[in-house]
Amino acid sequence: MTDLTLGDIERLLAAGADRPVTGSHSQLDHALQTAAVLRERVPGVEELAVAGLVHDIGHLLPGVDDASHAAAGAAAVREALGERVAGLVGLHVEAKRYLVASEGTYGGELAPDSVSSLALQGGPMSADECVVFSALPYAAAAVELRRADESGKVPGLVIPGLGEWSGALRRAQR
């Protein structure tokens, strides 16, 4: 499934309530928490928060595995949410690989699901890959997204629901 409409995106995110990430923490919980963390850490950069909301939408697409969820998610939201949001979605796994390679303590901060997926996603970047990644236009924002991604995994955290994000999604709509 590619070229999702805004309605498709909202329906997929809502369906994520039935897809666990870890324990009782669902894909929807994770999406909402990641977006809320970004809204708080980087106020006024709404496209980044929207990217946080949809960053793992590839996990909700049929037939998409963990290794390809970032690219599939980016392709799926590009038409509806634009190149910046799609670019950030597409880079969030590479940002994890970059951080593990470039910051000695980052790997120790990863949740168990992130540790297990890291190997499937290519492991830490090589020094050459780090140089290439850091030169990408969205690299810094993708690193911010990745840090929020790891922070958005708190079981039971009370945050606003998906309806709170309808306006932001519509403003990001192309």
The DSSP output letter for 125 is P
pLDDT recorded at residue 21: 80
Q: What is the largest CA-CA distance in the chain?
A: 42
**HSE value, Cβ hemisphere, 13 Å, CA-based, for 2:** 8
| Confidence label for 111 from pLDDT (cuts 50, 70 and 90) | confident
pLDDT of 174 above 70: no
- The CATH number that domain 6-150 falls under is 1.10.3210.10
Task: For residue range 74-85, list pLDDT tens digits in order.
Answer: 999 999 999 999
Residue whose structure tokens are 């999604």:
169
pLDDT recorded at residue 113: 84
Partnered with residue 26 across adjacent β-strands are 20
Three-state helix/strand/coil letters over the chain: CCCCCHHHHHHHHHHHHHCEEECCEEHHHHHHHHHHHHHHHCCCCHHHHHHHHHCCHHHHCCCCCHHHHHHHHHHHHHHHHHHHHHHHHHHHHHHHHHHHHHCCCHHHHCCHHHHHHHHHCCCCCCHHHHHHHHCCCCHHHHHHHHHHHHHCCCCCCCCCCHHHHHHHHHHHCC
Distance, in Å, from the CA atom of 101 to the CA atom of 88, rounded to the nearest integer, reads 19
Which pTM was predicted?
0.94
Q: How far is CA 31 from the centre of its chain?
A: 7
pLDDT of 1 above 60: no
Rg (CA), the chain: 15
